[in-house]
Amino acid sequence: MAGGRLTTHVLDTMAGKPARGMRLELHFVHGDHTHHLGDSYTNADGRVDQPLLADDQFQQGEFEIRFHVGQYFERIGVEVETPFLDVVPIRFTISEDKHYHVPLLVSPFAYSTYRGS
């Protein structure tokens, strides 16, 4: 699979801006366990500078991006009396040699995602 790539974008819906400096982990799913492929951080635009997967690394299969939202909100000084979200895992399947974009919209109490373009 030479033409596909995997990207992400995180928007902080509480602040109405990109989520700068959020840590995320990429995992390849093998049945009941995962294999850690790497860590990244979002830039000022809420994006990761390089695709999470591209070129020879891009492959079909089941993947999971773990977004460290609790750590992000703590770092930017959001005080939550009763913390709710910590690590948000988004598990998805890559089945085509195409661009897969997995955005995350997040606040301290809710999140949503979709297959972007």
Q: Which residues are annotated as a binding site for substrate?
A: 9, 47, 114
C-alpha 65/C-alpha 78 separation (Å) is 23
Residues annotated in the binding site, as ranges?
Answer: 9, 47, 114
If DSSP codes are grouped into helix, strand and coil, which group holds residue 56?
A: helix
Tell me how far the alpha carbon of residue 92 is from its chain's centroid: 11
* Spatial distance between the Cα atoms of 88 and 70, rounded to a whole number of angstroms: 9
Q: How far apart are CA 42 and CA 49, in angstroms?
A: 7
